[in-house]
Amino acid sequence: MPQPELLDAAVVRAWLSTAARALAEARAEIDRVNVFPVADGDTGTNMYLTIRDAAAAVRTAPPEAGGGRLLRLAARAALLGARGNSGVILSEWLRGLTVAATRGDSLAIALDVAARTARHAVAHPAPGTILTAAESAAAAARHAEAGGMVGPAGAPARLSTTDAACRGAREAALRSVGALEPLRAAGVLDAGACGLVLVLRSLAAAQRAVAEAGLEDVSEADGSIGPVLLDIDLRGHAAPVARAAGDAAPGRGPGPAGSPEAGLQAHDHEHGGDPEDDVELMFVLERSAAAANFSPGAVADALRADLDDVGSSVVVVGGAADGAGGADDADRSLWQAHVHTADLGAALDVARRWASRGAVSRVSVRHLAVPPDRWAVVVTTAAPALAAELARGGAVVVLDLDVPPTADDLAAAALGAGAPHVLVLAPEALHGATTGIDAGAGPADGPGSAPEVVRVVAPGDVHLVAGTSALAAALDDPREGDADVAAAVGAVVAGLRVDGGPAATVGAVLERLVAGTPAAIVTLLPDDDVPDAAVEELAALAAAAADGADVVVMRTGRPGDHVAIGVEPLDDAEEARA
């Protein structure tokens, strides 16, 4: 029985729902083998969250929406919600597939377009990755669609186009261990390639469910699909590089032989520096089609080149509006940009330049070498240097660069943080209802439910520093349960004494804040125009006035001569950390 093509609405709905469940089930396993381009252990999670957004957009679409409309909604949601290098590439693959399918191309041609657009989005494509798996899937699909015969051990057996694509992607994933040194050294398959196998298998399962039952009701079709599993051994496909006991892999801490940490080898880092120092910057660029001086493709190429000058792992996806957002955004073009960089300031300068030609939103920063634990922290600030410091301390930072962040932006960051518990430190206005968090897990999510989110009102930057420090201190205490952790952070932030002023006169403010109550920590956040000598003088004054207190100094990265001050009373700090 022929399988329905992608423009079948029931197939689209069942496909994305099934893919979200499959990636939710496999994401931890895929995360564990993520060693390229950086061993940050989040490829499975990023692909899951990207498809989860696509599935949510389809799930809430009008019942009468056709397959083309559903694909456009899914592609737009994936573009805006893409997480990480792998999620951004997956979103562009889905966008290419959508463009081709909605103009009437066959599935094989659509898979070919998807593979080519995904590869073009990456500044420096590498072999053996999700890009190779996409190309192998497209080649196998074209062969099957042309009447080719594919079968094991030389036995001819005609495969459907989608089944052939699944086989092509799986074979590429199995070969990936030999394509890149980090994969060979760790003895693992490429995580992104394995994730794409699940996405394609979910499509095949959806097509079969619709075709075999002759169903048009997606709820019936979806309910008839069993679990889609990744029947691939992700480890043990190559002998890991032997290391002497205690040796550390390049750019990593010590790890057991054969682990991704032990096997990781520093990838080519075009701009010097250690990938361990890198942060990941992502942002969305929006431009009016009428105001654009370049074609959408030229914008992506130019933005990609600009980011390539300041970092690595550059991916820029998106382009012309497809009408998925309705009449209000029919003339808008959207791009999602991704870069790893040791120089966040230079990368943000690129974003600012493009903001002058459009609008930049959903700006997020995280440190690649800080994997999520049982708690993650999401913060929002307009201070770029502080953002880098907070990210390197483990926070996911939603940066107020051009378009102010929204509650939903914080929700997306919390969902993408990769931890079962997430602390959100933000002004009260950004703690309203959020569609991403408060909606929780929908029917498409399966075991990948939303994290528990604790909101703490943080009116200013000094509250962010105090809150993230309090979280780290609470997590260092093995006696602290999750409720105790949240309470400890809330107590510290609520008890903080805060003020500030121009550097020339802020000394008196500092003395007043520490007078009367012993201080545990004094935080000074000077703007960039405050001279180093003045900062040193203030730090010395703080140390003298608050005898025995820790003095923390962090530049904001903003122009100006202001110094923000936060004083954490000793009794509050002791109680929170007792």
* pLDDT-derived band at 237, boundaries 50, 70, 90: low
Is 156 found in the same domain as 186?
yes
Is 570 found in the same domain as 485?
no
Confirm whether 539 is domain-assigned: yes
d(CA 25, CA 223): 17
Please report, for the domain that includes residue 364, its CATH number.
3.30.70.1150
Residue 248 has what pLDDT?
34
557, amino acid identity: G
Which pTM value belongs to this model?
Answer: 0.82
Please report, for the domain that includes residue 66, its CATH number.
1.25.40.340
What does the block give as tokens for 270? 């075009």
Confirm whether 320 is domain-assigned: yes
Is 158 found in the same domain as 186?
yes
d(CA 411, CA 397): 12
Is 163 found in the same domain as 52?
yes
Q: Give the count of beta carbons closer than 10 Å to the beta carbon of residue 299.
A: 23
d(CA 472, CA 494): 17
What does the block give as tokens for 190? 């490429």
Is 543 found in the same domain as 457?
no
What does the block give as tokens for 160? 């459907």
For residues 122-139, average pLDDT: 92
Q: Which range marks the domain in which residue 286 is found?
A: 274-369
Q: Which of 492, 516, 531 is at the close of a domain?
A: 492
* pLDDT-derived band at 39, boundaries 50, 70, 90: low
Is 500 found in the same domain as 436?
no
Residue 443 has what pLDDT?
38
Question: Out of 14-18, 354-358, 481-485, which region has the weakest mean confidence (pLDDT)?
Answer: 481-485
**Cα 541 to the center of its chain, rounded Å:** 41
Confirm whether 551 is domain-assigned: yes
Confirm whether 390 is domain-assigned: yes
Confirm whether 509 is domain-assigned: yes
Residue 473 has what pLDDT?
84
Q: Which stretch of DSSP H or E encloses residue 347?
A: helix 344-355
Q: What is the three-state SS of 385-442?
A: HHHHHHHHCCEEEEECCCCCCCHHHHHHHHHHCCCCEEEEEECHHHCCCCHHHHCCCC
Question: Out of 8-12, 256-260, 505-509, which region has the weakest mean confidence (pLDDT)?
Answer: 256-260
* pLDDT-derived band at 505, boundaries 50, 70, 90: very high
Farthest-apart Cα atoms in the chain, separation: 86
What does the block give as tokens for 547? 């005898």
Question: Out of 95-99, 279-283, 415-419, which region has the weakest mean confidence (pLDDT)?
Answer: 415-419
Residue 575 has what pLDDT?
46
pLDDT over threshold 70, residue 239: no
pLDDT over threshold 80, residue 389: yes
What does the block give as tokens for 445? 């999510």
Q: Give the count of beta carbons closer than 10 Å to the beta carbon of residue 158.
A: 12
Residue 436 has what pLDDT?
45
What does the block give as tokens for 529? 């125009």
For residues 24-37, average pLDDT: 84
Is 421 found in the same domain as 325?
no
Cβ(526)–Cβ(551) below 8 Å: no
Q: How far is CA 322 from CA 60, 318, 564, in A?
A: 18, 10, 45
Confirm whether 250 is domain-assigned: no
Report how far apart the first and last C-alpha atoms of the chain are (Å, whole number): 68
* pLDDT-derived band at 465, boundaries 50, 70, 90: very high
Question: Out of 103-112, 253-262, 462-471, which region has the weakest mean confidence (pLDDT)?
Answer: 253-262
Q: Which of 345, 369, 393 is at the close of a domain?
A: 369
Is 299 found in the same domain as 167?
no
Q: Which of 190, 220, 242 is at the close of a domain?
A: 242
> How, if at all, do strands 312-319 and 332-341 pair?
antiparallel
* pLDDT-derived band at 243, boundaries 50, 70, 90: very low
Please report, for the domain that includes residue 570, its CATH number.
3.30.1330.20
Confirm whether 350 is domain-assigned: yes
* pLDDT-derived band at 566, boundaries 50, 70, 90: very high
What DSSP letter does each residue of 68-103 carry, written as one string?
Answer: HHHHHHHHHHHHHH--HHHHHHHHHHHHHHHHHHHT
Tell me the β-bridge partners of 379. 397, 425
Confirm whether 352 is domain-assigned: yes
Please report, for the domain that includes residue 469, its CATH number.
3.40.50
Number of domains in the chain: 4
Residue 339 has what pLDDT?
94
Cβ(142)–Cβ(114) below 8 Å: no
Is 203 found in the same domain as 299?
no
Residue 248 carries which DSSP code? B
For residues 514-527, average pLDDT: 88
Higher-pLDDT residue of 517 and 409 is 409
Residue 535 has what pLDDT?
95
Is 281 found in the same domain as 166?
no
Cβ(122)–Cβ(89) below 8 Å: yes
Is 187 found in the same domain as 117?
yes
Long-range contacts (CB closer than 8 Å, 24 or more residues apart) made by 427-433: 427/380, 427/457, 427/458, 427/459, 428/457, 428/459, 430/380, 430/405, 430/406, 431/407, 431/455, 431/457, 432/407, 433/407
**Cα 213 to the center of its chain, rounded Å:** 37
Q: Which residues contact 464 (CB under 8 A, 6 or more apart)?
A: 379, 381, 386, 390, 395, 425, 458
Is 363 found in the same domain as 481?
no
